[in-house]
A and B are shown apart, each in its own frame.
Chain A
Amino acid sequence: MTTLNRRARALIAEVGESDGPTEIERARLRASVLSRVGATVAAGSAGAALTAEAKAKAAVVIAGTGGKEGLAGAPTIGTASTVAKGSLAALVTKALVAVVVVGVGATSYLVTSSSPRTAATAVVQAPARLAAPPGTPIASPAVVAPARALVAPAPVASIVASIGPALPLISPPARPSNAAVNAPLNAPVNASATAAMPQPSRAEAPSLPRSTNPAPETFGAETDALGTALAALRDRRPAEALAALDAQDSLYGQGVLGEERAASRIDALCALGRRAEARAAAARFLADHPHSLLAPRVAAACEGVSSP
């Protein structure tokens, strides 16, 4: 068997794992993923939530707007859109910004996205039923939790399709700019669309709940701001991180990343040696968000943190 020569081994050793992510990249990626899957307002297991989502009555808005450059995660998040057959296609042909809302009951979760080039606006009402997974107690988090948009950009949809049994995803077009041609037509949300004509400015569906629905640029700014706080934490400036998190809470309220901020605040308190406060905040967090993906991290708060 051919072996690597000395220089090859040296190069590989030199690189090691240095082409991995930085801490800020890890945190930013995590926040992006959690916001994509709706974990910031999530309750219940992913599987149960998925079932609920797939069956959720969906109000989907594909809204065109001038996107803001430099949004964290925008290139990927920005591809999300849901397209109905035929009737909507012409309207979304140029839509590169998608604001997707799935509203169920009194609550909703928003997946926002934006892109610099946008034009079209469309509103789609997609009839589907919200059904709890079989056997789910009526009061379980999966039912009372806000339903979440499960709108996959094309890569996700195709990846999911190719690695296992088809999931009842709401499928987006393969390419936003080619929605008419490439929209998967087997989407379970068989939308009978009512579409608004393209408008020069952002359209807002009047019936949409507004609770945690940031504008795309707000989401980007919120993500960037959290990145700043996480960077301060990483650089052992917990007081600065804490101040930044407070400011962000004032600015965004719960926002999209409220849970992320709450968890990061606990880390900051730990780093500042304010353990009693950290533990109290952790207890509140776990009571408020028992099923949060961040719960394990919060439960382990202050472990292994030495006093300053």
Chain B
Amino acid sequence: MSSPPEPLSFEEVYGQNVDFVWRVVARLGVRPEAVEDVAQEVFVVVHRKLGEFRGMSSIRTWLFQIARLAVYDHRRTVRRKEAPARANDREGAIDVDGLATDTETWPDSTAARSEAVRLLHAILDDMDDEKREVFVLAELEQLAAPEIAEAVGIKVNTVYSRLRLAREAFNQALVRHHAHARARDRRVL
């Protein structure tokens, strides 16, 4: 990978990556109403540190590292404020199994899409952070394994092993969710 000779401007970085950062923040477990604040922290840091970004890694790898730290920092803060019983969950976390959503019959509407988002995020919430990070980068953001290894600070082999476990967890969570949905439908009928 060759280093870009021209330093990136904040405008460029923001414009091309704000959606990525926003999604990563949301997908790593920041509740919707706090995503903007955490993203703000990320980009304030980006603004300050951009001069130090030398293109040694991809910009998304670098941004992910910052976003990840911001998310974990935020979650620690939230955790301190929350009751201990809810400490490990996204505030107001959703029960994946109980989500009243049938993924096969979603109409193409905003409301339905947001149901899909809720389900996706709820499943991610049930994963531990190690699997979740790798899953988000690999399956949702389509980063390559070496990039993920760099972003998360692990070996490529570890990326693959975590991804395998994450996929299994994701598959199983969806199976459980649909089983519950079917059971609920039967009760309704």
For the complex with contacts A15-B120, A77-B40, A160-B48, 7 further pairs of A-B residues with Cβ separation under 8 Å are: A2-B168, A10-B104, A20-B23, A28-B36, A37-B47, A75-B37, A155-B77
Q: Which of B12, B27, B164, B174 contacts A11 (CB 8 A)?
A: B174
Alpha-carbon separation in the docked complex, A50 to B163 (Å):
40
Cross-chain pair count, CB within 8 angstroms: 156
The 4 closest A-B pairs by CB, nearest first: A47-B51, A76-B37, A20-B19, A14-B116
List residues of chain B with CB under 8 Å of any chain A CB.
9-12, 14, 18-19, 22-23, 26-27, 34-41, 43-45, 47-52, 65-66, 69-70, 73-74, 77, 103-104, 106, 113-114, 116-117, 119-121, 139-140, 160, 163-164, 167-168, 170-171, 174-175, 178
B49 & A164 in contact (Cβ 8 Å cutoff): yes
Contact with B along A100-129 (1 / 0, CB 8 A): 000000000000000000000000000000
Q: A residues 143-202 with Cβ under 8 Å of B?
A: 150, 152-156, 158-160, 162-165, 167, 175
Given contacts A11-B116, A19-B27, contact A29 B36 (CB under 8 A): yes
Q: Is the CB of B167 within 8 A of A2?
A: yes
- Which of these, B26, B35, B51, contacts A46 with CB under 8 Å? B51
Q: Which residues of A contact B23 (CB under 8 A)?
A: 17, 19-20
- Which residues of A line the B interface, CB within 8 A? 1-5, 7-8, 10-12, 14-15, 17-21, 25-26, 28-30, 32-33, 36-37, 39, 45-47, 50, 73, 75-77, 150, 152-156, 158-160, 162-165, 167, 175, 293-294, 296-297
B103's contact among A10, A21, A150, A162, by CB below 8 Å, is which?
A10
7 intermolecular pairs with C-beta atoms under 8 Å apart: A2-B167, A21-B39, A29-B36, A46-B48, A76-B41, A155-B77, A158-B73
Which of A4, A19, A153 meets B139, CB within 8 Å? Answer: A4
* Complex Cα gap A294–B10 (Å): 10
